[in-house]
Amino acid sequence: MANQATPPTPVEELTYEQARAELVSVVQSLEAGSQTLEEALNLWERGEALAARCQAWLDQAKARIEAPAETD
């Protein structure tokens, strides 16, 4: 029986903190450079999705902060 890795949590389900922590891990892994080209490309794509998720969280937070100022 082969040992199957648990698939990663879908990016859209991650909190900001989870996405940021995983993004840091992805960057560290890429900087270490110990992956095959295919693994590195998969990590890069995951990193791009994580960065977009973090940005979406930050955009939402900014909108929430600015919303009360617009009603004044």
Coil, strand or helix: which one is 6? coil
Question: Is residue 66 situated within a structural domain?
Answer: yes
Question: Is residue 10 situated within a structural domain?
Answer: no
In this prediction, residue 24 carries a pLDDT of: 98
Question: Is residue 57 situated within a structural domain?
Answer: yes
Question: Is residue 29 situated within a structural domain?
Answer: yes
User: pTM here?
Assistant: 0.83
Q: Which domain holds residue 28?
A: 15-71
Single-letter code of the amino acid located at 28:
Q
Residue indicated by tokens 């890429």: 30
pLDDT per residue rounded down to tens, the chain (72 residues): 455 678 889 999 999 999 999 999 999 999 999 999 999 999 999 999 999 999 999 999 999 999 877 665
Question: Is residue 34 situated within a structural domain?
Answer: yes
Q: Number of folded domains in the chain?
A: 1
